[in-house]
Structure 1
Amino acid sequence: MGINDYAAVADLYDIYVPATFDIDFFITETKKISGDVLELMSGTGRVSIPLIEAGVNLTCVDKSAELNAVFAKKLEDLGLKAEIHQMDVRELELGRQFAMAIIPFNSFSHITSPVDQRKTLERIRQHLRPGGIFICTLTNPKVRQKTVDGQLRLLRIYPLPETGGELLLWIVENRVPEDARIVEALQFYEEYDSRGVLFSKRYIELYYRFTQRDEFEALARAAGFRVNALYGDYSRISFNEDSPFMIWVLEKAD
């Protein structure tokens, strides 16, 4: 099972993922270190661009040529620069080391095999200098799994500025029978014009894994990291069983 492909909705991604709740957190964390930062699974640059604007020397990696193209165009329009590499994080090979690596927006969960998760963590460690920091964000399975109920739900309605219409995003999520820790999600995208007439409908199939706290910590330690902190949200409150997120701050061990 490969990492999810957003090619079919690359042109819509910035419309339905306008989130900014984690931006200040990553700006603050990257400012704590001296050196270059590696952002993995960077998508269209939702987090990347604010970091670059804040003065972070950023290198970005994503496997999607389509998302990278959107990101590159945004950089060009803003007069900004960053290295962008099209690469699967499971096969990460850049030939250099960084002071920090980050995977925002729970994207690590899209690596659904524990073997691939371990391999990815080892690759990331190889790309960190001694004492380098890796920040990995995940949802808390106990909280997130409550919405995995097999029911088709309207997530949200988004305005389409170019047409004056609206984008309706629907989702249905089910556990994979072979492994209940893996979720199969279908996301449906309906575009309506200003008169409410449907003019485009498409969908993508996504998979993600619920990785428990103990499971991730064991993987991280086995890959050569030690845990510096585990936050439950982006205000840096300590993680507890009811926290919405698991925000791991790991350090490359000797």
Structure 2
Amino acid sequence: MDLYDDAFLYDLVHGPIAGAEIVSFLLDYCKVYGSPVLELASGTGSILLPIAEAGIEIRGIDLSENMLQACRRKAAERGIRAKVTKGDIRDFSLGHRYPLIIIIGNSFQHLNSLPEISAFFESVKRHLEPDGRLLIEVFNPYIPLLNREMGIRYVVGEFDGHILTEDVNYDQATQVTNLNWHFLHRTSGRERSLSFSMRQFFPQEFDELISLHGFEIEDKFGDFDRSPFVSGSPAQLVVAKVRNN
């Protein structure tokens, strides 16, 4: 089963609502550039909902109907009107331009090929205001993870009575990591497995891809605490704008 077919297990690992540091970072940019904000791959609303709760007009698109339903359900529980629709980040048309477009939670890494990446940036350009900003977060590749022996399960942790293990297969030719997550319920003994893939973007390659697609990097952080990006940073968090030729 695909990871995004099970919103419950997804939220079990990632948390139903994003951490305060992430939300604070994003709200700062929302306040500077204004609204409405567009979140791509908005998932179950872990980022969209706290931003909406802060009074920011925000719209989300996601390819998974299961994720969208979970987002709407959480919004109703919190008394929020969530504007989310089904859409593909590789090719979307919303009939509106936005001062701020965000794609957080490493969702950009599900674009596994160069044509998909190019299509994404073209879609973003069509929807970004002339002086707007794009915020992208991806992992900083962790070499020990990529070098794990194929088929060996590693323990990730325990989440609400579910023991999570994972096995990883990294393809050096495509730079795509294929992951399987296995959730073992401690009480019932039932196990469910979810699969997903993530392309790895090495730092200089990531910067160059952004530049080649007509964007200029304004800031690059290593985490949501605004620490500078260095070799040991957990994330590559880029703030970019369309380059004026």
Shared fold (TM-score, shorter chain, > 0.5): yes
Q: Which residue of 1 aligns with 2:159?
A: 158
Name the amino acid aligned to 1:39: E
1:191 aligns with 2:185: yes
Name the amino acid aligned to 1:83: K
Shift of 1:10: 1.5
Q: Which residue of 2 aligns with 1:99?
A: 99
| Aligned ranges 1:204-219 → 2 under 5 Å | 204-219=194-209
1:17 aligns with 2:11: no
Separation of aligned partners in 1, 2:243 and 2:173:
35
- The verdict on how the C-alpha distance between 1:247 and 1:177 changes in structure 2, with shifts beyond 3 A counting, is closer
| Aligned ranges 1:164-179 → 2 under 5 Å | 166-176=161-171, 178-179=173-174
Separation of aligned partners in 2, 1:7 and 1:173:
18
Q: Which moved more, 1:26-35 or 1:80-89?
A: 26-35
Unpaired stretches in structure 2, ≥5 consecutive residues: none
- 1:186–1:206 CA contact under 8 A, matched in 2: yes
Shift of 1:122: 1.5
- The verdict on how the C-alpha distance between 1:36 and 1:5 changes in structure 2, with shifts beyond 3 A counting, is farther
Q: Which residue of 2 aligns with 1:227?
A: 217
- 1:138–1:247 CA contact under 8 A, matched in 2: yes
Separation of aligned partners in 2, 1:49 and 1:145:
34
- Paired residue secondary structure (1:235): coil
- Paired residue secondary structure (2:124): helix
Shift of 1:94: 0.9
User: Kindly, what percent of the aligned residue pairs are identical?
Assistant: 25
Shift of 1:112: 1.0
Separation of aligned partners in 2, 1:173 and 1:130:
41
CA RMSD, aligned part only?
1.7
Q: 1:147 aligns with which of 145, 148, 159?
A: 145
| Aligned ranges 1:32-71 → 2 under 5 Å | 32-71=32-71
Deviation digits for residues 58-77 of structure 1, max 9, x if unmatched?
A: 00011000010000011111
The two structures have a TM-score, normalised by structure 2, of 0.91
Separation of aligned partners in 2, 1:31 and 1:133:
12
Q: Which residue of 2 aligns with 1:163?
A: none
Shift of 1:140: 0.9
Q: Which moved more, 1:16-25 or 1:205-214?
A: 16-25
- 1:188–1:201 CA contact under 8 A, matched in 2: yes
- 1:122–1:224 CA contact under 8 A, matched in 2: no
Deviation digits for residues 13-53 of structure 1, max 9, x if unmatched?
A: 22221251522211222122122100011110111111011
Separation of aligned partners in 2, 1:11 and 1:242:
31
Q: Which residue of 1 aligns with 2:228?
A: 238
Separation of aligned partners in 2, 1:233 and 1:176:
26
Name the amino acid aligned to 1:59: R
- Paired residue secondary structure (1:80): coil
- Paired residue secondary structure (2:56): coil
Q: Which moved more, 1:29-38 or 1:64-73?
A: 29-38
- Paired residue secondary structure (1:234): coil
Q: Which residue of 1 aligns with 2:116?
A: 116
Deviation digits for residues 168-196 of structure 1, max 9, x if unmatched?
A: 111111112643x111111111223xxx3
- 1:42–1:61 CA contact under 8 A, matched in 2: yes
- 2:49–2:82 CA contact under 8 A, matched in 1: no
Name the amino acid aligned to 2:24: D
Shift of 1:5: 4.0
Shift of 1:222: 2.4
Q: Which residue of 2 aligns with 1:133?
A: 133
Shift of 1:253: 2.5
- Paired residue secondary structure (1:66): helix
